[in-house]
Amino acid sequence: MTSRRSGPTSASSPQGQCGGWQRINADPLLALLPGFLSPALATTLQQRLEQEIPWTSPTIRLYGKAHRIPRSQCWMGDTDARYRYSGRTLEPESWHPEIDALRPRIDEALRAAGLPRDGFNSVLINRYDGGEQRMGWHSDDEPELGNDPIVASISLGSERPLRFREKDRRPGNAFNVWLPTGSLLLMGPGCQARWQHALAPRAIDGVRINLTFRCVR
């Protein structure tokens, strides 16, 4: 599988802004582009995806007990982009045309700002139907993502914070990144090695859909 990965460059100006990108952290690089999609496009896209994605809520085994995941999800991508996740192998759904059309836009937004990017050939889509739906602490560091994956994440709908913490769990080092609808978050090289992230339950109404674009090798 070919990769268009390019190395880290001068990600942003000293002020941490480049073409609307906000540099949240320099090393490892974590950057947010709030208005990647217009509010109107984000709303239309969310409505289409709610209706048209084949959502599933599989059960996973934790400490010997079966649990339904507290969200809905769909794995989508190129036909050979299989993904092992929570002990199962996910076969990709074929590309939804609106999601496929986001790939060159993401690539261009990263390229224009001189940010690292990858040949994204797959996406994990998660739908959270309300504030009680969530995702626990993890890193996107499965072997098939390669040794230092880059992940690009689009959020639609209810704004919620993605929480980050250092893997060594030193106290006081966690922080939130609020993800408004239509935003694009870049988790650059080193993010998965150094940090974990989670979407904690919150008293926030409304549906949120998140799409994390990845490169399975």
Instruction: Give contact residues for ligand AKG (rule: CB under 6 A).
Output: 124, 126, 135, 140, 153, 162, 197, 199, 210, 212
Closer residue to ligand AKG in complex, CB, 64/214? 214
Tokens of 48: 């289409």
Between 88 and 111, CB nearer to Mn ion: 88
Residue type, 38: S
Residue 114 or 163: which CB sits closer to ligand AKG? 163
The CB-of-212 to Mn ion minimum distance in angstroms stands at 6
Give the residue carrying structure tokens 């950057």.
Answer: 31
In whole angstroms, the minimum distance from the beta carbon of 137 to ligand AKG comes to 10
Residues 177 and 30 sit within 8 Å (Cβ to Cβ): yes
- Give the per-residue contact string, 138-157, with Mn ion (x = CB under 5 A; - = no): --x-----------------
Nearer Cβ to ligand AKG (114/194):
194
Tell me which amino acid residue 28 is: P
